């Protein structure tokens, strides 16, 4: 019985190989880089052990063009011991046949197809297809799996920048993208430029070269031309105020590697902004050369220099020369200072770095007060605002009429019209309006009388040397209530002189007076007696100068009109014109935020200031700073101006510095105000 079982088992083992399934022969899908040569494996995926496989035949179609099969390789494969197979190639097809004495066993790579992928092909895919796959002329049977090849472009690296223009001694950083680090760098001409391991190029001598980078896979990239020039001319960006005359330097780079004996260059600019005047060499490299030749054209200056014995070979950056320009006083836009036409030693071209010139708009200065009326001997302080750059210089348009101090204090000398001028340290200017000057004062004094009475209106003059010989006066008055009666000289400066009053016309009277000897004043020149109508209502009535002519026009007198007041009594005051006193009122409201009103009265023509001070006595605001006629005034202080003032106690001070003609009065008063936020 045991013997029969053994025979059955042995028979089963003998027929197992005959019953095995088909053997799979395959290509694996893969990705291959264009331009490479590769070994594409043919795989046995099913075990052939015990199947007594000793021969084979393969017919394979492939995509011709992107794939070029060169040969069949068995080294390291399952068929290595069988030796090289026979194969036949035709367009897009390879037939392979091989045999051996030792049966194949196991699974693995059956053989290799040596294949190249030409760079000229643009295809991105290729296929490998089995037409036939036989073992032992058909036993065991086979099944196949075809393969697809994805073709990718050859890896590249890119070096940037691709070009460059440098001056000897300058550096330029290069970068690489793509590929695999680390990278190695070199230049095609190390005499012209060298490059370190991080891609930093240093220019050495004039010439051209290229930069090459290589990645760890041997992929390379080469730049375009990198040019190195022996020197560079530079004009730096600069700004100056309008109207200035300036010297703009032209810089040249290190010249230790070259000896310059001659050269030409040009500088172009906007002629509406700058005007080239000259080229200066004092203190510059060209100082040792003969004077250069210059050619001026609108918006361009061309310079040529040469020497038989001298050379330019400076170490480091130096100033080659200066170009002198005049800056326009009108236009405010900028201009490029553009270098061109550079040729040294008749063959060496240099690099350039152009400059940019921007004129600075000068401040528009404001002179205060803008207008004023002064009498010879009067002084008036002027101020400047608007961003003046100190120190400032003051002047007047006619020094025979007035003088002005270094601090801006004007003194009137004689009659005329002038302007006050100021200029700051950078050329910004300001001009006042008309400042009208008189030689002396003349005025009509106020008088009071009762209806039906007569009053004397005094004509008063200030001091004047060399004096007054004659006068022609024309006065106007209310014709309904006042009638000129006579001219009185007794007790006046014109006592004993010839005086005439023309027949009065409606509302006016003309007076002439003259004498051999001058009167210098101050004092009453003469008086006019007026008859007040009995029907005149109570009140004040003006008496005005229509004209006043002294000495046929010289001196020129500043007139102040007067008034006749019809009162209940016939008492004459003949006092200076109303208001009869100075006063400074308390501000209202007080406390305040942010505005308050300040009222004051002045009794005489003169220069008036009203200023605000803080608790430390520091002036913080000027509300009035000008000549004023007698009268009552109100000014407002806005404490929110100029960025605002903090809460606290402040002081305001009124000062009149011009005394009256006869009384010599002046006035100063200070009061306190409170800003409460």
**Tens digit of each residue's pLDDT (9 = 90 or more) over 4-17:** 433 333 343 344 44
Percentage of the chain exceeding pLDDT 70: 94
**From the centroid of its chain, how far is CA 72?**
75
> pLDDT band for position 567 (50/70/90)?
confident
Annotation: CATH topology of 440-567? Immunoglobulin-like (2.60.40)
Q: 229-278: per-residue pLDDT in tens?
A: 999 999 999 999 888 899 999 999 999 888 899 999 999 999 999 999 99
**Is the overall model pTM greater than 0.85, yes or no?**
no
Q: What is the pLDDT of residues 41-55, one digit of tens each?
A: 999 999 999 999 999
- Check pLDDT > 90 for residue 555: yes
List the chain domain ranges.
Answer: 14-152, 157-229, 232-360, 366-438, 440-567, 583-675
pLDDT for res 2: 43
DSSP 568: S
pLDDT at 581: 65
Answer whether residue 579 shows pLDDT above 50.
Answer: no
Which carries the bigger pLDDT value, residue 29 or residue 119? Answer: 29
Write the DSSP assignment of 211-223 as a string of letters: EEEE-TT--EEE-
Q: What is the mean pLDDT of residues 362-368?
A: 88
Q: What is residue 201's predicted lDDT score, i.e. its pLDDT?
A: 98
Domains 232-360 and 440-567 share a fold: yes
What's the rounded mean pLDDT across residues 212-234?
95
Q: Are strands 200-203 and 171-173 parallel, antiparallel or unpaired?
A: antiparallel
Pick the CATH number of 583-675 from 3.90.1150.10, 2.40.50.140, 3.40.50.720, 2.60.40.2550: 2.60.40.2550
Domain 366-438 is found in CATH 1.10.10.60 = no
Which tens digits make up the pLDDT trace of 197-215?
Answer: 999 999 999 999 999 999 9
Domain 157-229, CATH number (from 3.50.50.60, 3.20.20.140, 2.60.40.1080, 3.40.50.300): 2.60.40.1080
Which of 14-28, 469-483, 530-544, 638-652 comes out lowest in average pLDDT? 14-28
Mean pLDDT of the chain: 90
CATH class as words, domain 14-152: mainly beta
pLDDT score at 243: 85
Residue 38 clears pLDDT 80, i.e. is over it = yes
Antiparallel, parallel or unpaired: β 440-444 and 498-501: unpaired
CA atoms within 13 A on the CB side of 542: 7
**All residues at 6 or more sequence positions from 528 whose CB lies less than 8 Å from its CB, including other chains:** 456, 457, 459, 475, 484, 486, 487, 488, 501, 509, 511
280-332, pLDDT tens digit by residue?
999 999 999 999 999 999 999 999 999 999 998 888 999 999 999 999 988 88
- pLDDT per residue as tens digits for the range 147-200: 999 998 878 899 999 999 999 999 999 999 998 999 999 999 999 999 999 999
Class of domain 232-360: mainly beta
Nearest-angstrom CA–CA distance, 650 and 612: 7
* pLDDT score, position 659: 38
pLDDT in the model for residue 315: 86
Query: In this predicted model, what pLDDT tens digit does every residue of 260-270 receive, in sequence order?
Result: 999 999 999 99
| Dist. CA 176–CA 43, nearest whole Å | 41
**pLDDT tops 80 at residue 606:** no
Q: Is 612 exposed, middle or buried (CB count within 10 Å of its CB: 0-12, 13-18, 19+)?
A: buried
Q: Note the pLDDT tens digit of each residue in 508-551.
A: 999 999 988 999 888 999 999 999 999 999 999 999 999 999 99
Confidence of residue 363 (pLDDT cuts 50, 70, 90): confident
């Amino acid at each position: 019985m045991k013997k029969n079982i053994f025979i059955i088992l042995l028979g089963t083992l003998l027929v197992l190989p005959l019953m095995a399934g088909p053997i799979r022969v395959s290509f694996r899908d893969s990705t291959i880089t264009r331009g490479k040569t590769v070994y594409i494996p043919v795989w046995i995926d099913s075990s052939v052990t015990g199947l007594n496989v000793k021969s084979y035949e393969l017919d394979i179609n492939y995509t011709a063009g992107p794939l070029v099969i060169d040969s069949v390789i068995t080294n390291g494969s399952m068929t290595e011991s069988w030796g090289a197979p026979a194969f036949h190639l035709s367009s897009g097809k390879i037939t392979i046949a091989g045999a051996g004495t030792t049966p194949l066993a196991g699974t693995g790579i059956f053989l290799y197809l040596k294949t190249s992928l030409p760079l000229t092909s643009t295809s991105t895919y290729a296929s490998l297809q089995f037409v036939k796959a036989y073992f032992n002329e058909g036993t065991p049977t086979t099944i196949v799996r075809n393969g697809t090849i994805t073709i990718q472009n050859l890896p590249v690296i890119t070096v940037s920048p691709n070009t460059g223009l440098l001056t000897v001694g300058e550096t330029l950083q290069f970068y690489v993208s793509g590929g695999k680090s680390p990278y190695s760098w070199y230049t095609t001409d190390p005499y012209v430029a060298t490059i370190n391991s991080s891609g930093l190029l240093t220019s050495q001598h004039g010439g051209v070269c290229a930069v090459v980078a290589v990645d760890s896979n041997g992929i390379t990239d080469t730049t375009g031309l990198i040019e190195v020039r022996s020197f560079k001319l530079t004009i730096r960006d600069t700004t100056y105020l309008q109207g200035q005359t300036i010297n703009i330097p032209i810089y040249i780079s290190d010249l230790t590697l070259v000896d310059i004996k001659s050269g030409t260059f040009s500088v172009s600019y906007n002629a509406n902004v700058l005007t080239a005047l000259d080229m200066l060499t004092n203190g510059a490299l060209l100082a040792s050369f003969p004077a250069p030749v210059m050619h001026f054209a609108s918006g361009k200056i061309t310079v040529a220099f040469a020497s038989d014995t001298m050379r330019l070979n400076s170490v480091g950056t130096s100033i080659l020369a200066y170009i002198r320009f005049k800056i326009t006083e009108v236009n405010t836009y900028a201009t490029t200072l553009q270098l061109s036409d550079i040729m040294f030693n008749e063959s060496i071209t240099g690099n350039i770095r152009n400059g940019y010139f921007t004129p600075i708009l000068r401040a528009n200065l404001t002179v205060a007060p803008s207008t004023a009326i002064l009498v010879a001997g009067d002084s008036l302080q002027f101020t400047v605002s608007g961003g003046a750059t100190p120190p400032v210089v003051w002047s007047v348009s006619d020094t025979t009429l007035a003088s002005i101090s270094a601090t801006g204090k004007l003194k009137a000398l004689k009659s005329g019209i002038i302007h006050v001028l100021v200029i700051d340290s950078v050329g910004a200017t300001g001009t006042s309006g008309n400042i009208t000057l008189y030689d002396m004062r003349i005025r009509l004094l106020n008088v009071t009388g009762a209806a039906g009475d007569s009053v004397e209106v005094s004509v008063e003059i200030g001091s004047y040397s060399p004096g007054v010989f004659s006068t022609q006066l024309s006065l106007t008055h209310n014709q309904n209530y006042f009638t000129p009666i006579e001219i009185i000289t007794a007790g006046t400066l014109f006592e004993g002189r010839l005086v005439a009053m023309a027949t009065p016309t409606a509302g006016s009277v003309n007076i002439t007076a003259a004498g051999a000897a001058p009167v210098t004043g101050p004092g009453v020149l003469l008086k006019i007696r007026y008859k007040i109508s009995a029907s005149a209502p109570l009140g004040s009535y003006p008496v005005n100068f229509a004209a006043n002519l002294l000495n046929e026009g010289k001196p020129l007198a500043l007139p102040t009109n007067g008034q006749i007041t019809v009162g209940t009594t016939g008492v004459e005051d003949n006092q200076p014109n109303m208001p009869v006193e100075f006063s400074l009122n308390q501000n209202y409201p007080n406390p305040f935020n942010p505005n308050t009103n300040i009222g004051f009265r002045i009794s005489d023509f003169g220069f008036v200031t009203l200023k605000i001070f803080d608790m430390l006595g520091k002036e913080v605001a000027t509300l009035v700073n000008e000549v004023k006629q007698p009268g009552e005034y109100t000014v407002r202080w806005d404490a929110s101006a100029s960025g605002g003032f903090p809460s606290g106690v402040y002081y305001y001070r009124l000062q009149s510095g011009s005394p009256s003609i006869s009384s010599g009065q002046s006035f100063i008063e200070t009061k306190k105000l409170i800003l409460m936020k």
